[in-house]
Amino acid sequence: MKLRETIDFIRSLYGKEAFIPLHAPVFAGNEKIYLQECIDSTFVSSVGRFVDRFEAMVAEFTGAAYAIATVNGTAALHVALKLVGVDEGSEVITQPLTFVATCNAISYCRARPVFVDVDKDTLGMSPDSLEAFLQKHAMVQGGVCINKTTGRRISAVVPMHTFGHPCRIDRIAELCERYAIPFVEDAAESLGSYFKGRHTGTYGRVGVFSFNGNKTITTGGGGMLVTDDEALAARAKHITTTAKIPHSYEYIHDEIGYNYRLPNLNAALGCAQMERLEEMLENKRATATAYRHYFEGVNDITFVEEPVDARSNYWLNAIILDSREERDRFLMESNGAGVMVRPIWRLMNRLTIYETCQSMPLDNALWLEERVVNIPSGVRL
């Protein structure tokens, strides 16, 4: 493996001397101006014109009819699951190769994850594995999908677009319709990614995005729920605002709600970031192209490219090593040389909190877990 040459190449992209982070935020637009405007207005919490503008900008960019800002992506996913009917004792089919927030949001609803495999090329949910699970375990009774093995209702399917690479979401949508299961797109990592010309997060009834500090654009911490359903959008805004009935001075709440609304201060950052999103996406695509060309000349490392029919945002560039041993050596030497790289997440079914959940064979996920490494992917100045 050309380990030293690879480290030197990354340094040539990002700078030879400084520590190179995996994905640092870049504030090169109107961020300071908008933050000062927000402070001067005194509307720094969950009400203000920047929240409204940020929601409108994300809706327009993704093509969704409505966007509702939340305090983080996990909160957006939690609410999205509740909106489609995930409740205590039900099951949600998802993938084991994901960030823990996916499964945690399911658990917040007191539901139980069920794991199907991923595809090696997309790193996201495999429609074949999902179909095999449904054929073996699912039956539809009275418009409700039941897991024949456990007797529980299957209340949702949650695919995740890993590192911004779209999964085969059209086939997943077809399977969910066939088995009467709503699905929620965990598009936390894929703002700026498209599948067959359609933005991720807009295939299901609800999609969610994240604006954490390491995402393509950031609000410091923040998330967004998108949908084309007007009634669902109104309910999302209501329950994320503590379910308070609108009134000029009285405090009346008609159900258990959540204090999940994004502060205006954070939204001010988001508006400035959205103004430069197209520029940042092109910058990141140029970096991915440079990586792809470089790794074409490295026999024992494969660069993860955008899948067929997709345009990826390349949020985090990823490479696949030949073995766990080679992966570990790459991780140790690169981080030791000041170039931040990281392994893929520990699979959810291998965490003690989720190890008893029902699973399909997860051969692809296990293979990827042993070999995938993320390499520096931030916007290059």
CA angle 255, 258, 261 (to 5 degrees): 130
Residue in 176, 60, 164 with CA at minimum distance from that of residue 122: 164
Residues 252-292: pLDDT tens digits?
A: 999 999 999 999 999 999 999 999 999 999 999 999 999 99
| C-alpha to C-alpha distance for 248 and 145, rounded to whole angstroms | 43
The residue written with tokens 């399911």 in the block is 106
Classify residue 159 as left (phi > 0), alpha (psi -120 to 50) or beta.
beta
Q: What is the pTM of this model?
A: 0.96
Q: In angstroms, what CA-CA distances link 74 with 6, 99, 179, 188, 359?
A: 35, 10, 26, 9, 23
Report the greatest alpha carbon distance in the chain. 67
CA distance 117 to 129: 6
- Let me know: does 50 contact 263? Beta carbons within 8 Å: no
* Domains recognised in the chain with CATH numbers: 3-26+277-348+358-375 (3.90.1150.10), 31-276 (3.40.640.10)
- Residues whose CB falls within 8 Å of the CB of residue 166, separated by 6 or more in sequence, listed in order: 122, 124, 190, 193, 194, 195, 200, 306, 307, 310, 312
SS3 string, 262-282, reads: CCHHHHHHHHHHHHCHHHHHH
Radius of gyration of the chain (CA): 21
- pLDDT over 70 percentage in the chain: 100
pLDDT of residue 381: 83
Per-residue pLDDT tens over the stretch 4-41: 899 999 999 998 778 999 999 999 999 999 999 999 99
| Cα–Cα dist 50/34, whole Å | 8
Q: Is the dihedral of CA 209, 212, 218, 220 positive or negative?
A: positive
Task: Note the pLDDT of residue 121.
Answer: 97
Could you give the C-alpha distances from 131 to 203, 225, 338, in angstroms and in order? 18, 27, 44
Rounded Cα distance between 156 and 333, Å, is 42
Parts of the chain with a pLDDT under 70: 1
**What letter would DSSP give residue 29?**
S
**What is the reported pLDDT for 322?**
95
Determine the pLDDT at residue 10: 95
The answer to whether 319 and 375 have CB atoms below 8 angstroms apart is yes
Q: Which residues contact 156 (CB under 8 A, 6 or more apart)?
A: 81, 84, 85, 86, 90, 92, 93, 111, 181, 182, 183, 184
- Whole-number Å distance between alpha carbons of 77 and 67: 13
What's the pLDDT at 264? 97
- DSSP readout, 145-176? EEETTT--BEEEEE-B-GGG----HHHHHHHH
- pLDDT tens readout for residues 310-343: 999 999 999 999 999 999 999 999 999 999 999 9
